[in-house]
Structure 1
Amino acid sequence: MADVDLQAVHDTLVSIAFEAGRMILAANPTSISTKMNAVDIVTETDQAVERMVAARLQSAYPSFAFVGEETYQAGVTTITAQPTFVVDPIDGTTNFVHAFPNACVSLGLAVDRQPAVGVVYNPFQDLLFGGVRAGGSYMQRNASLAAGQGQGPRVRLGQGLRPLGDLRAALVAVEWGSQRDGENFEVKARTFRRLAAARENGDGGMVGGLRSLGSAALNLCACAAGQLDLYWEGGCYAWDVAAGWCILSEAGGRMVSGNPGGWETALDSRVYMAVRGASSGQEELVEEFWKMIGDGKMDYTH
């Protein structure tokens, strides 16, 4: 990694993210196709944004590999140790087509199969998150405006960390995903019920609150910013999490497996749990959540 100028990569990704954001805001998503099923959708804008991002990155970093959602080939596309851009042109496409303002472009760089740079930009809110390994992470509002003309400061994430309590005090992000049958779906449904149930019945978590932003990248960034305590997901892909993972880690957060007992998880594992940075209580909250899953285990193929 010593040969890669991570800060320069970050700055390039921010420029590309703003260009992608302008394309997203200008789009009228009327041409909608489906992939796996009716809730797994793609638009012409997803594809156009990925083409632009790929072209810009190929020009700037021709020796780096590229993995994008819209050009991914199941069973063929892999992430190797080579520096690899891992890109989701629109994370939260369902939100995008409904004009629900939680959608973003997620641009990550992985080196040695580990997140090294992350840029996540929500153009609807002009909200930018960025992170560089060993360089910290930040959040910036009104990010595309000129300095001195409304642009917000880059707020360093992970400072003044608060301790974590148990699930009763936790705000937790979850997502249904696009797979709505089979054992993976049943594990999610059972766990959601247990999280919400009262403790008096013996197996409930009485969680403080459940939220679904509809975007893995924005869920991770909300954890990084301390707005969420924990995020549990199965079924998303590396491009959904690569950028947000870097931002979370640099804010003192931690990514583990979404399946019980896995304190380490691969970038392309498809099963994740993120916990925000905290002065104490990270492992305790993760273990309490894993108990809600019980003997369940999610398993997704590539």
Structure 2
Amino acid sequence: MADIDLQAVHDTLVSVAFEAGRMILAANPSSISTDTKLNAVDIVTETDQAVERMVSSRLRDAYPSFAFVGEETYQAGVTRITDAPTFIVDPIDGTTNFVHSFPNACISLGLAVDRQPAVGVVYNPFQDLLFTGIRGRGSYMQRNASLEAGKGLGEKVKLPLGGANPPALGDLSSALVSIEWGSQRDGENFEVKARTFRKLAAARENGGAMVGGMRSLGSAALNLCACAAGQLDVYWEGGCYAWDVAAGWCILNEAGGRMVSGNPGIWDTELDSRVYLAVRGARSGLKELVEEFWKVIGDGKMDYKH
């Protein structure tokens, strides 16, 4: 990676993200063409496809030797993430939110090198909220990110928001946990999720974890960025893809957080494992909270194909 200028890649991705944001904001969700993939809740729009074409064109022009993996051009069983420098892109993460004009949707732009997240840029144009991270150089959040200096441009704040010595993690009873149902709504993967969600919510007297609270932002990338910021303690997901998590994973790592497997017992998980458990940075308690969450899952195991 020594010969890759990660700062230059970051700067290119930020520029691309702002251009994508303008395209997303210009679209009218009530009049654009919409289709489905897996089922009725797995939505793709013409805006997703147009944004990915723009992103692919710009990144291939800027970095012709880098590989490119995008959600809308992914081919099951064919597309692979290798050790080569690879842009991993979700043109609109949170498409269901987008088509409902619910303002939790973003573009997620990641660079992986040796199958490890190296640069991450996540931009929510509806809130003009930008998250960025570069391996070894920290991660940041910026509000009013597309405005000019002196005209409302927000301060670039280093993550986590709690500072260099973020609060310790307690047990699940005090944790704010993000969960997502995903698009697969039957089979064993769905049953593992449903059982785990119920046990997280249930009172301890009934064998539950009595979790402090559960949230669903509808976007894997934004869930990871909220963990990186310290706004969420934990995010658990099964069924998403590398393009959903690559950028946010880098941002989480640089904020002192940790990504492990969403299946119990696996501390080192792959970028394309499709099963993830993210925990915010903290001065203590991370290992204990991960193990407590895995205990809630119990013998359950999610298994998603590529």
TM tier relative to shorter chain: over 0.9
CA distance in 1 between counterparts of 2:72 and 2:39 reads 16
Alignment of 1:1-302 (within 5 A): 1-29=1-29, 30-158=32-160, 159=163, 160-201=165-206, 203-302=207-306
**Equivalent pairs, count:** 301
* In structure 2, distance between residues paired with 1:211 and 1:93: 18
Comparing 3-12 with 152-161, greater Cα deviation is found at 152-161
* SS, match of residue 256 in structure 1: strand
Structure 2 residue runs of 5 or longer lacking an equivalent are none
CA distance in 1, matches of 2:35, 2:105: 18
Query: CA RMSD for the aligned pairs?
Result: 0.5
Amino acid across the alignment from 1:225: A
Give SS of 1:145's match. coil
* SS of 2:130 mapped into structure 1: strand
TM-score by length of 1: 0.99
**Displacement, 1:43?**
0.1
Offset of residue 27 of structure 1? 0.4
Deviates more, 1:154-163 or 1:217-226: 154-163
Deviation for aligned residue 1:75:
0.2
Please tell me the residue identity of whatever aligns with 1:208.
Answer: G
1:164-184 Cα deviation digits (max 9, x unpaired): 000010000000000000000
Question: What SS is found at the alignment partner of 2:225?
Answer: helix
Residue aligned with 2:277, SS: strand
Unaligned stretches of 5+ in structure 1?
none
Secondary structure of 2:197's match? helix
Question: The residue matched to 2:131 in structure 1 has which SS?
Answer: strand
Secondary structure of the residue aligned to 1:87 is strand
1: CA distance between counterparts of 2:261 and 2:150? 43
Following the alignment from structure 1 to structure 2, what is the Cα–Cα distance between the partners of residues 222 and 296?
26
Q: Deviations over 1:246-295 (max 9, x none)?
A: 00000000000000001010000000000000000001001001111010
Using the aligned pairs only, state the percent identity.
83
TM norm structure 2 = 0.98
Structure 1 Cα separation of the partners of residues 99 and 77 of structure 2: 29
Give 1:157 deviation, angstroms. Answer: 0.4
The offset of 1:200, in angstroms, is 1.0
Return structure 1 stretches of 4+ with deviation > 3 angstroms: none
C-alpha distance in 2 between matches for 1:5 and 1:199: 51
| Aligned-partner Cα distance in 2 for 1:7–1:172 | 32
The Cα of 1:23 is off from its aligned counterpart by: 0.1
Residue type matched to 2:10 in 1?
A: H
> Residues of 2 paired with 1:173 and 1:49: CA distance?
27
Aligned mates of 1:162, 1:155 — CA distance in 2:
17
What's the CA shift string for 1:196-249, capped at 9, x where partnerless?
000012x20000000000000000000000000000000000000000000000
Q: Quick one: distance in 2 between partners of 1:6 and 1:135?
A: 10
Residue 52 of structure 1 aligns to a residue whose secondary structure is helix
- 3-state SS of 1:82 partner: coil
